[in-house]
Structure 1
């Protein structure tokens, strides 16, 4: 069951939770500092604090509207966190599926099946008809993958989420509220991401993408679901081109 949360409230809560979580992790992150630092594309040392904070904020914001959506966003963030910690050099679905055929379960394979399962479960809860449930699952999982594909330079992922979620604000009801929560989390991390002080990592990218997908699902009927499903499947099939396009922007 969808719960009315309000677009302004959803946006504000997501911004506040993301900023508070980022600040808390920066001051008292568990483990060593090295665990929370990475080298970005330019070789600069940046923190990963914003990723988990954005994931929790997006999941909390989505859960205020629909528990199933919140669970899918949180699961996507957890799968992304596993890849941030245990990931290897391989990128792209082909590489990870190839390793799986050889009997090796990579972090990418864990993400693929984990996020797909979470997306399908959420789709089953968000929609009523069997085909709509399937399409909804594809959209949620595919959107999570798409946002991760474009997370190759500062601000690309958060910027894509803001741009793609913005039309959802025009919709009344749960679609608009989910879009607002997604945008709040993305807007909160964008300044530090662009300033190369932090990166959102796979944790933030997958969670924000799943939240974006959930907003699309809540705001569309079958025709819209089909169009979005085709788009995310096409993006996954041409992942290298999508990544190259995002890198060139």
Structure 2
């Protein structure tokens, strides 16, 4: 992919994100109250960033896709992650507030389908469909069993990355910064995943100002969509050994998140702490109320 096309992709993604966000602000579906949450400062914050980011990712990826298959795979992964993430954002049962991947899977095991459980199943299904369409980088193995295993691993990578970005969306700008850092190598590699990586960077650039200012937040819909786009870029552009290594890393971090606070690790690591705080408003004088291991931002519960 040429440098000009990468720039065009990022520009389309950024412009779409900004335009859709403006339109939604003028006429939010269901009214502003449906999309408004209160943050740890006691201030209102909007989740309209989520659908705007998803729209930007889809538009940018369509422009930058290296093939119709790549375009369809990315659109499927992003749309599925955004849709099921928004269901969890807007329809979560506040009375139960089941948290974490383990909590939602535990509820499913006992015959109770939470909105988070529905999200796990829905994003898993759409991620698998996207992987089947994508034909991962490096080509499929000839044997049907090996081909199926490769598709399953790629689907797990897309779904796992969608969940991991949501786990990081606990402080303003954190998920956007993590997505940008992960997208840059994929953009520079220039393979089939470069277009999706450019869309991630363009969308993140358009959304970052209001996210860092704590006017907007990604919510599950936006964070899951951003992670699904990154996962799809990996599937499209990275060779099989890299994909498998990335999947192992995503699984390890997801398992660790059930016991370890990412926020505490970041705060204790100088380089990560400075990067995490860059561009953000000064910390509130009052500690946020505990909400899981990390004190999640409203509407951004993991899994």
Report how many residues are paired. Answer: 247
- Pair 1:21–1:172, CA change in 2 (3 A): same
Report what 1:79 is aligned to: 84
TM-score (normalised: structure 2): 0.77
Indicate the SS of the match to 1:233: helix
Q: Is the 8 A contact 1:25 1:49 kept in 2?
A: yes
8 Å Cα contact 2:197/2:230 also seen in 1: yes
3-state SS of 1:238 partner? helix
Structure 2 equivalent of residue 175 of structure 1? 193
Task: Report matched runs for 1:211-230 at 5 Å.
Answer: 211-230=229-248
Residues in 2 aligned to 1:159 and 1:242: alpha-carbon distance in whole angstroms: 18
Worse overlay, 56-65 or 236-245: 236-245
1:157-168 matched pairs, under 5 angstroms:
157-168=175-186
Deviation track 1:84-105 (CA, whole Å, cap 9, x = no partner) reads: 1112422101111111122110
Q: For residues 13 and 189 of structure 1, what CA distance do their matches in structure 2 show?
A: 13
Change (3 A) 1:12 1:203: same
For 1:123, the equivalent position in structure 2 comes to 131
Q: Which runs of 5+ in 1 are unaligned?
A: none
Q: Name 2:11's counterpart in structure 1.
A: 12
Greater helix proportion = 1
**Structure 1 residue 184 corresponds to structure 2 residue 202:** yes
Verify the 8 A CA contact 2:73 2:232 in the aligned structure 1: no
1:26-70 superposed Cα distances (whole Å, 9 cap, x missing partner): 111122221021112333211112110001111222234121211
Q: Which runs of 5+ in 2 are unaligned?
A: 66-70, 141-146, 268-272, 274-303
> Which residue in the other structure is 2:46 paired with?
47
Measured in 1, the distance between the counterparts of 2:177 and 2:265 equals 11
Of 56-65 and 193-202, the range deviating more from structure 2: 56-65
Asked if the contact 1:36/1:48 (under 8 Å) is kept, the reply is yes
Give RMSD over aligned pairs: 1.9
Residue 178 of structure 2 aligns to a residue whose secondary structure is helix
Contact 1:152 1:243 in 2 (8 A): no
TM-score between both structures, scaled by the size of structure 1: 0.93
Q: Which residue of 1 aligns with 2:252?
A: 234
The Cα shift of 1:217 comes to 1.3
Classify the secondary structure of the residue corresponding to 2:193: helix
Match of 1:31 in 2: 30
- Structure number with larger C-alpha Rg: 2
